[in-house]
Amino acid sequence: MIESVIEFFRPHLLPLIYALVIVAFLPLLAGYIVLLERKVMAHMQARLGPMRVGPHGLLQPIADALKLLIKEDIIPEDADRWIFWTAPIISVTAAMTALAAVPFGPAFQIADLNVGLLFIIGVGSLGVFGIVLGGWASNSNYALLGALRSAAQVVSYEVALGLALVSALLLAGTLSMRGIVEAQAQAGAWFLFMTPVGFFLYLVAGIAELNRAPFDLPEAESELVAGYMTEFSGFRWSLFFLAEYAAMMVVASIGTTLFLGGWLRPFAGVGAFDFLDFVPAVVFLGITGYAFYRVPKQPVQIQKGVMALFALLCLLIAGVLGGAAAALPADSGVRAGILGGFWFLAKVFVWVYSLMWFRFTFPRFRFDQLMRLGWHFMIPVSIVNVMAIGLGLVLHRQWGWGLVPALVLAYAGISLVVAVPVVSARFVLVRSELERH
């Protein structure tokens, strides 16, 4: 009886462990992404950022979590209490469920679905229901306006986002997230270099889907106090926050998988660049050296101890990464899992850092500017991009052209065909306006 139970759960054991790891570490990871965002913003503005709790403020997320857990939880008197309770849970559940089909490496994935990308997009898009329901259930004009803005924003940019994904799917020929990475390995290049326009469209549409600056109109504190989160406090407010940063991880993971090679290192498969396998160990050795350098500079003894423990942890990780690169054979699955996980998370980190950089760089759009950008620019360009990719693939597969020359010629030809009528119509319009005046 016991053996049959073990055999039944054996194929589900690793996915269950992976799911527990994600659920356990994602809130902590989101807290430290918030700390990183505050630090990056502070350093860009010549400030220090959080410094009080822990060495260099490293324990600030723990303090913030404790504060939110014990903070008074207020529900407006005329709110729809049941929907008010469940709205944040919907957003968090959608974001975390979408991570189930994301491959964090060749060996770390909860479910390898043959329609993985469709699953992620479909489930992730449900998060907007939590925002809309939360704004409506609050019985507040500010919250309702923020919720309606979020719904309009998602509708406007979902089309451009989907067409940007289609450009990568045409190149890969599969909806499997793992298959998309393997297609880039076979092509010998990341899809970023084959469809840069699709990458740009996905980046802009992804920021809009996340409601992040400069497209944070649903939260616009200068207009709507805090938008759909205005009436939320304490733990429920933190759930909305967790959903936002989990969705940021989803968007960054999809972009990494589709356009940046997933867990593939730069120049994967090229023997002359095999030394890049030791880069992960060198990176963590550098962090270890810096942490040990900072230990005697901490003002309190306990902070010195925490910094020393952090340095030892980084040293242990560097040893594991270096040992995997040096001792394990090149075709080892364990080696690929360890090093691939590092490269995937490193690319996601660069993506998340870029989202933070955009937030602190660009001013917020007006809502009419946001809609005009989505409908008048993003969607037309995304349609032209898909047409160019399709034409390039026809030249490559039917006529035997090289893929890169075919794509370059297709982009140039489609752009010329589309640009000439647009420019001509614009010229005629300007000329008629001048003649009228």
| Whole-angstrom distance, CA of residue 17 vs CA of residue 401 | 46
Q: Residue 318: what pLDDT?
A: 93
Q: What confidence score (pLDDT) does residue 15 get?
A: 74
Closest Cα to residue 75, out of 127, 140, 126, 142?
140
pLDDT in tens, the chain (437 residues): 555 655 665 566 777 777 787 777 888 888 888 898 888 888 888 888 888 887 778 888 888 888 888 887 788 888 888 888 888 888 888 888 888 888 888 877 887 888 888 888 888 888 888 888 888 888 888 888 888 888 888 888 988 999 999 988 999 988 888 899 999 988 888 999 888 889 999 999 999 888 887 888 877 766 666 778 888 888 888 888 888 888 899 999 999 999 999 899 988 877 788 888 899 999 999 999 998 998 888 777 877 888 899 899 999 999 999 998 888 887 787 888 889 989 999 999 999 999 988 888 888 888 888 888 888 889 988 988 898 888 888 888 888 788 778 887 777 777 777 666 656 666 666 667 677 76
Place of tokens 């090093």: 339
Task: Provide the greatest CA pair distance for the chain.
Answer: 90
Question: Rounded to whole angstroms, how far apart are CA atoms 147 and 155?
Answer: 12
What local confidence, expressed as pLDDT, does residue 437 receive? 65
> What is the rounded CA–CA span in Å between residue 382 and residue 160?
6
pTM: 0.89
Q: Are 194 and 408 in contact (CB under 8 A)?
A: no
Give 370-377 contacts, CB < 8 A, sequence gap 24+. Answer: 370/153, 370/156, 370/208, 370/215, 370/217, 371/152, 371/156, 374/153, 374/156, 374/157, 374/160, 374/208, 375/156
Alpha-carbon distance of 322 to 342, in angstroms, equals: 12
Question: Is there a contact between 138 and 230 (Cβ–Cβ < 8 Å)?
Answer: yes
Contacts of 378 (CB under 8 A, 6+ apart): 157, 160, 201, 204, 205
Q: What is the pLDDT of residue 13?
A: 72
Q: How far apart are CA 308 and CA 323, in angstroms?
A: 22
DSSP 88-152: HHHHHHHHHHHGGG--SSSS--S---TTHHHHHHHHHTTHHHHHHHHHHHTT-HHHHHHHHHHHH
Q: What are the backbone angles phi and psi of residue 329, rounded to the nearest 5°?
A: -65, 160
Angle between helices 177-187 and 234-259 (to 10 degrees): 30
Q: What is the pLDDT of residue 8?
A: 60
Residue pair 102/250 in contact by the 8 Å Cβ criterion: yes
